[in-house]
């Protein structure tokens, strides 16, 4: 029986690529999304992947949503915490609401989804959790104290939860993408984007499929000895 995987923010960009990669791997994939019903329907019709709408920053919605997915598709063995938002601005201009919303969704979503799915993984003695961090959580970024803090928090969350899950056959890892050719990056002004690409040693933006291949490995049986790790996929832009 195919293992069931949930990908949050799984209908567009990096999330879409991850959903497709896991489907190709033979998983039963459910792509969570936050609000764009039209886009989610188009994605589901095109790919044959089931979709489920809830706000990952809402704890009760995650619990209820995951319970429904389990009823409809089977026990959840794989969780990819990909959903994320930005509310950029310098600290001087950033509102508390901008800070809180990014922390609520980006970091809180990881806690909420793990809380919903980790107990079942423990019982079944198998699980894979992959949290999507960011190069900006590793190196920081001007005008993103909220986003950088949330993504950095994801990296710490990953290491701590990996220690809890190891004896139950659960691996918990993170991937820290660099600048990937998605709608989010496409919104960056061209002169700024040119400066970013100039700092990437391989000389180009990454592709969403390159992140998805990392997720496919970490969630496979081949990745069972990798846990508590942060895989940097950034074209050499940040090394440590």
User: Annotated catalytic residue: which of 33, 142, 147, 240?
Assistant: 147
End-to-end CA distance of the chain: 40
Residues in the chain: 240
Radius of gyration of the chain (CA): 17
How far is the CA of 142 from the CAs of 39, 145, 162, in angstroms? 31, 7, 30
Element (H or E) spanning 30, and its range? strand 28-33
In whole angstroms, give the CA distance from residue 59 to residue 232.
29
Indicate if 240 belongs to the active site.
no
Residues assigned a catalytic role: 147
């Amino acid at each position: 029986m195919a293992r069931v995987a949930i990908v949050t923010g799984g209908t567009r960009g990096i999330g879409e690529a991850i959903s497709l990669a896991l489907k190709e791997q033979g998983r039963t994939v459910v792509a969570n999304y936050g609000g764009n019903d039209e886009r989610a329907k188009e994605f589901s019709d095109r790919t044959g992947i089931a979709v489920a709408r809830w706000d990952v920053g809402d704890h009760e919605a995650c619990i209820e949503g995951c319970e429904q997915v389990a009823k409809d598709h089977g026990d959840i063995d794989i969780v990819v915490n990909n959903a994320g938002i930005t509310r950029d601005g310098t600290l001087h201009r950033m509102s508390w609401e901008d800070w809180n919303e990014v922390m609520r969704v980006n970091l809180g979503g990881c806690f909420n989804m793990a809380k919903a799915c980790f107990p079942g993984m423990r019982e079944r003695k198998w699980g894979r959790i992959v949290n999507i961090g960011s190069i900006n959580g590793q190196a920081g970024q001007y005008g993103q104290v909220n986003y950088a803090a949330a993504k950095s928090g994801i990296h710490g969350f990953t290491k701590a939860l990996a220690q809890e899950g190891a004896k139950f056959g659960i691996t918990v890892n993170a991937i820290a993408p660099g600048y990937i050719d998605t709608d989010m990056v496409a919104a960056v002004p061209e002169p700024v984007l040119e400066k970013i690409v100039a700092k990437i040693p391989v000389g180009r933006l990454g592709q969403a499929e390159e992140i998805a291949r990392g997720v496919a490995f970490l969630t496979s049986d081949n990745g069972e000895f990798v846990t508590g790790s942060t895989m940097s996929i950034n074209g050499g832009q940040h090394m440590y």
